[in-house]
Amino acid sequence: MAATDATLEDRPIVAFFYAAWSWLFLFGLVIFFEVWAQISYSTSFVFNAFNVQSIALFAAAPLLLGLGQTFVIISGGIDLSVGFVMGLAAVVMARIMQLFDPALAPLALFVGIGCAFLVSMIPGFINGWLIARLKVPAFIGTLGMYGVARGSGFLAADGTTVPVNNDWLFMMGSGKLLGIPIPVIITAVLVVGMHYLLSQTQFGRFTYAIGGGRQAAIRAGINIRRHTMTIYIMAAACAGVAGMIYTARFSAGAAQAGEPLLLDSIAAVVIGGASLFGGSGTIIGTVIGALIIAIIQYGLVFINVEPFWQFVAVGIVIIVSVLVDQTRRSLPGGTKEDA
């Protein structure tokens, strides 16, 4: 076999780089900021509980959006509405909790969470119905829902933030369990559950199959319509959880809460190794992608770099991740089925 025809299996070092480049990049980021902290501030960036907790909180919201987005992208779609679905859920939760007397704080929290969760799934159901039943392209359908959820959120909030005075809500957003912030614990539980669903169940295998080839999935007997609708409802539900955590952390709901997080959620999935062509990706990869974004954002603030450079840095990483995926796919044996 000629050298130019060698597959990834014949190039173990190259294959390892393509498989682990995001892990290597994450490790390099940590080393860079640790060395900077030691030289400039005589302190530690990594072995510092405050820094670690801050990075985890930075990563939580885009990661929650990214969990559902991972399933969507693996299946060959995309969801542009999750940012404002998050904001809508945050506002609904705050509005519902405002209706209760402060003495009924536990009940107010329970009802607020339930209502926000149910409302968040409505855009997901509509997205799935448009895409699966009416064959509307995912980009167009979810872009339309982006506007609907955005307007609905601002209407529900009367164009402003919706404050909430609830001790139980404050505990949910700012409390800690065994020294770990409760929002991080909630996120970690969802990560474990979604990882199991994607990697160990028939539902996950069907998701990969649909992204790998829809016609083949249909011939295999997979109910494409029902599965697609379920995936988009899941993505919206994850956005709803992110909205609830936002309201808990800031004791207020805001329609624009998830606006800056949409691209971060997609970036986390792509940086983590998922292909925008569908058929590949993992929850663990999305976690790594979210951590990379959070470390860049927090690390640049830590070293006193203007926050606007965060957008530049994250944008460069997104471009690199797409180039890596494109290069891998162009090599013999580097199709999306092998990714």
Please report the pLDDT score of residue 142 as a whole number. 94
The reported pLDDT for the residue numbered 3 is 46
Q: What is the DSSP letter of 331?
A: S
Overall CATH class of domain 25-36+47-330: mainly alpha
Percentages helix, strand, coil for the chain (3-state, rounded to 5) are 75, 0, 20
Q: Please tell me the distance from the alpha carbon of residue 50 to that of residue 274, in angstroms, as a whole number.
A: 31
Alpha-carbon dihedral sign for residues 211, 215, 219, 223:
positive
Distance in angstroms (rounded) separating the CA atoms of residues 251 and 260: 19
pLDDT for 91: 95
Please list the alpha-helical segments (H only) found in 75-104.
82-98
The SS3 call for residue 73 is: helix
Question: What is the reported pLDDT for 333?
Answer: 52
Cα separation of 75 and 212, whole Å?
Answer: 8
Owner of token pair 């820094």? 51
DSSP 181: E
Residues sharing a CB contact under 8 Å with residue 153, sequence separation 6 or more, in sequence order: 84, 87, 88, 90, 91, 255, 256
Angle in degrees, CA 161, 162, 166, rounded to 5: 135
pLDDT of residue 337: 41
Helix axes 224-250, 202-212, angle to 10 degrees: 110
Q: Using the CB atoms, write b or e for 81-104: b if 16+ within 10 Å.
A: bbbbbbbbbbbbbbbbbeebeeee
pLDDT at residue number 13: 65
Collect all residues with Cβ–Cβ distance below 8 Å to 35 and sequence separation of at least 6.
none
Q: How many CA atoms lie within 13 A of 164 on its CB side?
A: 35
HSE (CB half, 13 Å, CA atoms) of 305? Answer: 15
Residue 186's pLDDT is: 95
Longest dimension (CA), the chain: 76
Q: Which SS3 state, helix, strand or coil, does residue 2 take? A: coil
Query: Which tokens sit at 167?
Result: 């001790």
CA distances from 258 to 80, 226, 301, 318 (A): 11, 27, 21, 19
Give the helix/strand (H/E) hosting 302. helix 283-302
Across the chain, which has 339 residues, the per-10-residue mean pLDDT values are 51 63 86 89 85 91 94 94 94 93 88 94 95 92 94 92 90 88 95 95 94 86 92 96 94 90 90 84 93 90 81 82 72 48
Structure tokens at 331: 């090599």
Domain boundaries, the chain: 25-36+47-330
H or E element in which residue 106 lies: helix 105-128
Residues 6 or more apart whose CB falls under 8 angstroms from that of 166 comprise: 97, 102, 105, 108, 109, 251
Find out whether 147 and 99 touch, Cβ atoms under 8 Å: no
- Cα separation, 11 vs 1, in Å, equals 13
